[in-house]
Structure 1
Amino acid sequence: MLGSFDAILLARIQFAFTVSFHFLFPAFTIGLASYLAVLNGLWLWTKDSKYLDLFRYWVKIFALAFAMGVVSGIVMSYQFGTNWSVFSDKAGPVIGAPMAYEVLSAFFLEAGFLGIMLFGRERVGPGLHMAACAMVAFGTFLSAFWILSVNSWMHTPAGFSIDPETGQFLPEDFWQVIFNPSFPYRLMHTVTAAYLTTAFIVGGVGAWHLLARRRGGEDASEATKTMFSMAMWMAAIVAPVQIFLGDMHGLNTLEHQPAKVMAMEGHYESHPDGAPLYLFGIPNDAEQRLDYAVGIPNLSSLILKHDLNAPLDGLDTIPDDEQPPVAIVFWSFRIMVAIGFAMLGIGVWSLWARWRGRLLTTPWLHRAAVAMAPSGLIAVLAGWITTEVGRQPYTVYGILRTADSAAPLAAPAVGTSLVAFVVIYFAVFGAGTFYILRLMSRPPVFHEPRLKDVTKGPIRTAGVTPAPEEAARRPEAAKEDL
């Protein structure tokens, strides 16, 4: 019969699976909502049909990804009440309000304006439609604000007291709860990661269609060229900013969660005269050492303390029962960092190609962009694994252990629900993702004639003023095009 530890482990795996699956969609839609607002604004400003074409192309994808994000997120609240009911009981008085505000403000804002954004262009006028696009984009950011505030409080709890009788966390200072020590760094790092994720997906789709048109001996549409160009500008500008924000976040983590940074760096031993930066190694928790280590002397001290000879403590200063699983944290951190520098490389490469006038005619850059299309999603998952596994063995860091947060459920019950989640998630969201990929495989061109235009005379391409010779065509001639 499975013991209580196995039930807790299964509950952790279940939560990790569902939250990881869920976050893939917000990581994409946070940036995509802003991109759509920019495209709509550019269309209103310039009346250039390529921006309207791109808006109509991506808004369908946004709607699907947003819907799957909402549905997959609903499950999280149920898990707080089932597998993690003890945590909910103890931390609920503090984190309940911000989570409710996320629904009452961010989600209602998104849901209230989403319909206008999707279907209101011809019904409410350009000004209100633009406002709806902006509100949806702001709503996605506001949602990230509240959720990250709750998550950050679990890492760096502040502004609370503990009831000595019930053991509940009670809010004392709402602003300290929200703006806890790690929150600004997490918010900037996560939102910027979402923008990069969107940029590389958009860039990958644009590069795919550039390559496809080149293979077919055709010239890509202006919408495709603009899509790729805008994405590469975003990568070139935001990737270095993200690396800088990641460094700031790391320094904040070193201050408040040193054991996590020790695991990230693979520092089992303290280094009084400067710590190396390990590029490779196999963590060995049993022997408390990094096997086959390959590192650069003193570079970790330079990065974390800005001093080559600065001392750094190791996991030998942390009790064994308070150490996170080093192997998972060590490798997930390296995956995230490696992808971040690969993104920087693509951004620099695109600047070089743009300067030479070959941004749209460099096949190897386009192939690299296609390969990097899912890199943002992989990086944000690796980042969340680093930060969440690195927090162990706590749910509320330093105060409430994970083993004391779980509901007293039997392992078979948790295991059964975990299997059900895996099957349903891959079936439902796998189908949705497949359909999104099919939409992405089609080029962003909207020049096909529409039946309702035929009866009115000239064929009008959406958002494009017809040429004089086209406007003079008879309806019978238009029918021949169909």
Structure 2
Amino acid sequence: MEHLLTDHILLSRIQFALTTMFHIIWPALTIGLSIFIFAAELAWVKTGNVEWRRQARFWTKFFLLAFAMGVISGVPLEFQFGTNWSRFSVASGNFLGQILSVETMSGFMLESIFLYFMVAGWKRLSPGMHLFSTGMVALGASISAFWIMVANSWMQTPSGGGRMVDGVYQVTDRLAAIFNPDIFASFPHMWLACLTSTAFIICGVSAWHILRHRHSEFYLRAFKAGVAAALFFSLLQAFTGDLSGRTVARYQPAKLAATEAFWETNKPGEGAAWSIFAWPDTEAERNYVELRIPFVLSILATHDPFGRVTGLKDIPEDERPPITLIFYSFRIMVFTGTLMIIVALWAVWTWYKGRLTPIHAARQRKLMKFFIWLAPFSIIAIWTGWIMREVGRQPWIIYGLLRTDDASSPLTAGAVSISLGYFALAAVFFITLFCVFSVRILRKGPETDQAPDEPESGRPT
């Protein structure tokens, strides 16, 4: 505890981690909700079924809340590059500063401009133009995610040539830096995580109302759409997770070894075993207790049952990341993701058997409760995935180029403690506001009567 209060670097890392965990919720929701809203509006334009229009308008209210929270939480997150990590900004700003500027001027600006037309254009725009505006909001949110992941992926697998000149890293090939080895796995994996998490949150909110017989038909429609999306995206998520794992095995062997608490490099002709459970002992360089499956780690990392996996003992101690934290974070993520796939399959089977009807849906209490619980756990899966990704990169802030200890600002522990405290209070305040406004929206419920600007036939004109 004394070390924590006097180590400004550790405090800065904690502050950035908490800021990121708070912020990441809202972009995940805006990306997922924008695509859900676009799909609902597209269904209305194509079919003329006004129920899809009501879905789009209702979930847009939550999109606005999430968008506002994302802006509010994103500002202090980016400011920390200058306040807490100034040496990192000096070293990498020549490239990362440009990437973050491109994100603001492309994705965020596109999303912000068309957000006005999406919200205020129901009466002023034709259905086709309004659909186009909603599509641009969804596109802008995804473009922003791409550029943010470019910045983070470059920190994971820095490429593009270049060298340090007076403490500044000069990238010589920006295309190679943008399309670095990690981006091809990390962006689709993160983008799908946003869609999957949002689908489960929509299902969870809908399931809660279905069990209470409130607006059952409206929420059942949202629940079915969410279930279809949840199964589709979670299966794709598993595929991109495999791709991400192989990328880590190739470019960040220390992260892979720590994630699996794997100590001894497997010999030729011997497969590396995967530990379902273990309790790592970093001092003794072994696992106290472990439950292993032979060959599985080699298969996961190399797609070869005898593939070579580097053990932690072959990695210098000062280049090993914290083992226990990322070992269990990874398993929480995988367990949650697997459970999400199973529950989504269960829901699809229930739907196929004709039990997801306004009369029978509320009787599926176990299924609905699983979705209610998985709604917050879908966010926890994102958190634990990021813990594994970011903590697993340590002790490097730019992998192999710049250590975290050399990247911080010359601050006192007291100064960081004060800013950390202020942020914690602000986070509690804003999450409370979000909950208050969300409850108000849910209590009011969806539009059940025909809206004044709705054609009587229910068809777009």
Q: Tell me whether 383-392 or 290-299 shows the greater mean CA deviation.
A: 290-299
Answer yes or no: is the 8 Å Cα contact 1:157–1:397 preserved in 2. yes
- Offset of residue 305 of structure 1: 2.4
Which residue in 1 is equivalent to 2:180? 180
Of structures 1 and 2, the larger Rg is shown by: 1
1:229 to 2:244 alignment: no
Equivalences for residues 9-408 of structure 1 within 5 A: 9-164=10-165, 166-213=166-213, 220-272=215-267, 273-360=270-357, 361=361, 362-408=364-410
- Offset of residue 307 of structure 1: 2.8
- Offset of residue 258 of structure 1: 0.7
RMSD of equivalent CA atoms? 1.9
Which residue in 1 is equivalent to 2:456? 465
* Counterpart secondary structure, 1:282: strand
- Offset of residue 466 of structure 1: 7.0
Which residue in 2 is equivalent to 1:454? none
- Offset of residue 38 of structure 1: 1.0
Residues 398-451 of structure 1: per-residue CA shift (max 9 Å, x gap)? 11000000011111111111111111111123322342244345543422xxxx
CA distance in 1, matches of 2:430, 2:107: 25
Match of 1:429 among 425, 428, 431: 431
TM-score by length of 1: 0.90
* Counterpart secondary structure, 1:372: helix
CA distance in 2, matches of 1:296, 1:5: 43
**Code of the aligned partner of 1:424:** A
Q: Tell me whether 415-424 or 397-406 shows the greater mean CA deviation.
A: 415-424
CA distance in 2, matches of 1:306, 1:154: 26
* Counterpart secondary structure, 2:46: helix
* Counterpart secondary structure, 1:307: coil
- Offset of residue 89 of structure 1: 0.4
Cα–Cα, structure 1 residues 442 and 309, in superposed 2: closer, same or farther, change >3 Å? farther
Residues 119-148 of structure 1: per-residue CA shift (max 9 Å, x gap)? 111012222211110000000000001100
Answer yes or no: is the 8 Å Cα contact 2:209–2:216 preserved in 1. no
Answer yes or no: is the 8 Å Cα contact 1:446–1:462 preserved in 2. no
Answer yes or no: is the 8 Å Cα contact 2:330–2:385 preserved in 1. yes
Answer yes or no: is the 8 Å Cα contact 2:4–2:11 preserved in 1. no
Poorly superposed stretches of 4+, deviation over 6 Å: 1-5
CA distance in 1, matches of 2:303, 2:428: 45
Answer yes or no: is the 8 Å Cα contact 2:123–2:453 preserved in 1. no
The count of aligned residue pairs is 450
- Offset of residue 274 of structure 1: 1.6
Answer yes or no: is the 8 Å Cα contact 2:5–2:11 preserved in 1. no
CA distance in 1, matches of 2:347, 2:28: 23
Cα–Cα, structure 1 residues 409 and 180, in superposed 2: closer, same or farther, change >3 Å? same
Q: Percent identity?
A: 38
**Code of the aligned partner of 1:86:** R
* Gap regions ≥5 residues in structure 1: 448-458, 468-482
CA distance in 1, matches of 2:79, 2:413: 18
Residues 79-109 of structure 1: per-residue CA shift (max 9 Å, x gap)? 1111100000010001111110011111111
Answer yes or no: is the 8 Å Cα contact 2:45–2:128 preserved in 1. no
CA distance in 1, matches of 2:173, 2:256: 29
CA distance in 2, matches of 1:283, 1:5: 27
